[in-house]
Amino acid sequence: MRLGRCSLRLAVVALPLALAACKGGGGAGDAVGASGAKGGSLKMGAALSMTGAAATYGQSQKNGLEAGTEEVNGANTLQGLKLELLVEDDATSKEQGINVFQRFINTDKVSVIIGPTLSTTATAADPLAQQAHVPVLAISNTSPTGITDIGEYIWRDSLTEAQVVPGAVKKAKAKIGFKTAAVLYGNDDVFTKAGYDVMKKALADETVSVVDTQTFAKPDRDFSAQLTAIKGKNPDILVVSALADNAAAIVAQARQLGYSGPILGGNGFNSPAFIKNAGPAAEGVLVGTSWNSASTAPANQRFKELMQKRGVNPDQFSAQAYSGVLIVAEAVRKAGFKTGRDEVKNGFAQVKDLDTPLGKFSFTPTRDAQHEPAVQQVKNGKFEIVQ
Amino acid sequence: MWQQAINGVFLGAIYALFAVGYALVFGVLDILNLAHQAVFTLSAFVALAFVAEGNMPLAIALPVSLLAAGLIGIGLERVAFRPLRGRSDSNISGLISSLAAATILEAIALQIWGPDVQRFPQGTFPDKPLHVLGATVSALQLTIISVSVVLMAALTAVLRATRLGRQIRAVAESPRAARILGVDVDRVIAWSFFLSSALGGAAGVLFGVAFNSVSPDMGRSVELKGLAVIILGGMGSIAGAVIAGFALGLLEVLTVVQLGSSWRDAVSFGVLFLVLLVRPSGLLGKAAIREA
């Protein structure tokens, strides 16, 4: 008898709680956006590497995101709806990345997640967002596989290595002409390994023979053994797939050991931090890039102007971050200013030829980025687009 | 090949210098000082601070950092080891205490300098490549090898030829007997820590300059290697640490060249394992005998 009454009371208490929990889990944005009302805010959660091996990129990205958010809110692009940017550090670690995603999804209840910085972190954290039906816009994941193929909620505005490297190799070959190459890549990171696969194929397609392949790991500081072995084989060009910190050390040590030939880097090199840390050794290094800094398009000029005002050197990472915010805003606009998670996801599919610092931007049918890439070279301590 | 040998000697010199400090403290106190790698790291940061902000030339920053490292070592001994000295389990408690000290020191470095990899400003060390017998050696590599060798030789001279050295060796043999013979054991232990940490600190500065990269976690990679070196060389044997240090450096470079860099740690620790199977006391270690 008593048991029966107790369990009835429990059920009475538990039921509304359960209902409330169900409602809450649906995405807080719904409350404001469901009716298409103007005003209110859309939360974007940015998971960036502010510490760890990828910290240089994270800093650039934060600047780009903040500038983009200010621009969209300042110009009132979303007619009363404001973008709210939350930034959390994923410490360049998968575990932390997962924690940050969980917080964004369950505690902060964001409408869209931006990031994470590295492809390695994305392969671990994105599946959570996919499962929770939260759209993710990657702004620097360039591994061709393992990102957007996670599911229909994962999108990216960063061109993959497969979209940038072949063009870079081709252009480099046309300009310098080389028949043999040596490749050095990091085999403990999803991005650098994927970059290597693309480089290998691109070199083969250009009938360049690879005379030596060496590997390293992210925590390595000494590359003299690998570089000495490579130098001994006398390649016409050294192709490197590495993150910025390793890249700077590799290039500096290569020059120190007396290798004076050309060097071609993957996307990891696309940071002014690379130039700063490698010093004079960075001169002449070629990199394929997603951001044509020389473009005179108004969106690019505006972006450069805003970064100048912040006292920050614009780079590919801040360009992709800034563009990411513009893309989110456009998706929300196309979705009728609704801020729900599914609305944003559907809005992404409708973004076409949007004016961004990256050029005219659209998504491919597989949710990857689509726009023209470029090639740049370090000249006098600065990146210069190779025409 | 010759070039790779130089690369190996270069790496080995730093490992040896680092391990010698470990061996000294272990020989004297029978304790593994796991905070050694934190002194290694802090010392590199101190040198960086002097060079980058104090505009001090490296030649002066190095001895200054050595001094600082030695002082940190003395502080370490006073705070983390001395209070535990009387206990019966002082080996293990000392080990754990040093681990705590290492964590604290590393956190201090993280707090002051942040997590990013820092670099020495351009031109800290002239980057001239020299050509010796067909190999390209940088002036930096040669200098580091020489400095390491000089420091290790200096330590050996101190241990062999000075009164302090004799006292250190006496305490290493038996602290009780040394005390009976009038040796101020506490002072000798403090000196051992000073010397050990100064050398560890020197290794840190040289490592930071060699690879132009100073970060709060730089000690982690050397920590295990240092341990492997002293085990390989024989715990407590300075000469063993030196030989094993160079041997490990050469082995690592050879592995990278022949097998690939992913194999480097596997081979290093694999060889350590094999040596321990065949000769458990290490290359130059003495089998542990309790006499009386």
State whether residue A257 sits within 8 Å of chain B by CB.
yes
| B290 is a domain residue | no
What is the span of the domain harbouring residue B274?
A: 2-124+135-278
Does residue B289 lie within any of the structural domains? no
The answer to whether A256 contacts chain B (CB < 8 Å) is yes
Measured distance CA(A123)–CA(A120) in Å, rounded:
6
B261–A216 C-beta distance less than 8 A:
yes
Interface touch B138/A187, C-beta < 8 Å: no
Q: Which residues of A touch B210 (CB under 8 A)?
A: 222
Q: Does A16 touch chain B (CB under 8 A)?
A: no
Contact B119 A221 (CB under 8 A): no
Report CB contact under 8 Å: B116, A55: yes
User: Taking a C-beta distance cutoff of 8 angstroms, is the pair A376, A383 a contact?
Assistant: yes
Q: How many whole angstroms separate alpha carbon A153 and alpha carbon A266?
A: 27
Kindly state whether residue B157 falls inside one of the protein's structural domains. Answer: yes
- A37-159+295-372 and A162-289 in the same fold: yes
Answer yes or no: are the C-beta atoms of A214 and A181 closer than 8 Å.
no
Please judge whether A224 and B7 are an interchain contact, meaning their C-beta atoms are less than 8 angstroms apart: yes
What span, in angstroms and rounded, lies between the C-alpha atoms of A285 and A263?
5
Cβ separation of A279 and B115 shorter than 8 Å?
Answer: no
Of A229, A249, A280, the CB nearest to B213: A249
Angle A307-A290-A51 from CA coordinates, rounded to 5°: 60
Q: What pLDDT score does A367 carry? A: 93
CA A139 to chain centre: 3
The answer, yes or no, to whether residue A305 has pLDDT greater than 50, is yes
B22 CB-contact burial (10 Å; exposed 0-12 / middle 13-18 / buried 19+): buried
pLDDT at position B222 over 80: yes
Q: How far apart are CA A115 and CA A233, in angstroms?
A: 40
* Distance of alpha carbon B84 from alpha carbon B30, whole angstroms: 13
The beta-carbon neighbor of B211 closest among A221, A257, A280 is A221
Mean pLDDT over the full length of chain A? 87
Instruction: Indicate the range of A4-8, A244-248, B12-16 predicted with least confidence.
Output: A4-8
At B137, is the secondary structure helix, strand, or coil? strand
Tally of CB atoms within 10 A around B84? 17
Q: How is chain A split into domains, by residue range? A: 37-159+295-372, 162-289
For the stretch A98-116, pLDDT in tens is 999 999 999 999 999 998 9
Q: How near does any CA of chain A get to the CA of B254, in Å? A: 8
Per-residue pLDDT, averaged over B148-154, amounts to 91
Check residue A221 and report its DSSP letter. -
Which residue of B lies nearest to A221 if distances are taken between CA atoms? B211
Kindly report which listed range (B42-46, B126-130, B154-158) carries the lowest average pLDDT score.
B126-130
Mean pLDDT in residue range B125-138: 74
How many CB contacts within 8 angstroms connect chain A with chain B?
70
CATH label of the domain that carries residue B60: 1.10.3470
Does residue A195 carry a pLDDT above 90?
yes
Number of domains comprising chain B: 1
Instruction: List, in sequence order, the alpha helices (H) in A335-371.
Output: 341-349
Average pLDDT over residues B264-287: 80
Q: Taking CA atoms, what residue in B is nearest to A220?
A: B221
For position B59, what pLDDT does the model report?
Answer: 85
Give CA–CA dist A180/A204, Å, rounded: 10
User: What's the pLDDT at A15?
Assistant: 53
Give domain status of residue B252, yes or no.
yes
Closest Cβ opposite residue A256 in set B122, B138, B213 = B138
Distance CA(B169)–CA(B155), nearest Å, equals 12
Nearest to A168 by CA among A198, A209, A144, A145: A198
CA distances from A370 to A375, B170, B285 (A): 16, 74, 64
Predicted confidence (pLDDT) at residue A138 exceeds the cutoff of 90: yes
Average pLDDT over residues B71-79: 93
Cβ separation A229–B117 shorter than 8 A? no
- CATH class of the domain defined by A37-159+295-372: alpha beta
Interface of B with A (CB under 8 A): 3-4, 7-8, 10-11, 115-117, 119, 122, 127, 129, 136, 138, 140, 207, 210-213, 218, 220-221, 252-253, 256-257, 260-262
Is the CB of residue A327 less than 8 Å from the CB of residue A335? no
Q: Find where tokens 């592995």 sit.
A: B255
B248 contact residues in A (CB cutoff 8 A): none
Nearest to B34 by CA among B223, B241, B240: B223
Does residue B285 lie in a domain region?
A: no
Is-cis flag, bond preceding A127, omega within 30?
Answer: no
Q: Quick one: pLDDT band at residue A12, thresholds 50, 70, 90?
A: low
Structure tokens given for A339 = 């801020």
How many Cβ atoms from other residues are within 10 Å of residue A213's Cβ?
16
In a domain, B286, yes or no: no
Describe the crossing of helices B185-210 and B2-29 by its angle, rounded to 10 degrees. 160
- Note whether residue B87 is domain-resident: yes
Look at residues A107, A109, A91, A106 and name the one whose alpha carbon lies nearest to residue A47: A91
> Tell me, what's the pLDDT at A20?
42
Whether residue A52 lies within 8 A of chain B, CB to CB, comes out as yes
Lowest mean per-residue pLDDT among A28-42, A115-129, A162-176, B221-235: A28-42
Query: Helices in B83-174 by DSSP H: which ranges?
Result: 90-113, 139-161, 163-173
A369 beta partners? A363
| B46 within domain boundaries | yes
- Distance between B243 CA and the closest CA of chain A, angstroms: 20
How many residues does this entry show for chain B? Answer: 292
The CATH H-level superfamily of A162-289 is Response regulator (3.40.50.2300)
**Cβ atoms B115, B215 nearer than 8 A:** yes
Output B44 or A34, whichever has higher pLDDT.
B44
pLDDT-derived band at A37, boundaries 50, 70, 90: very low
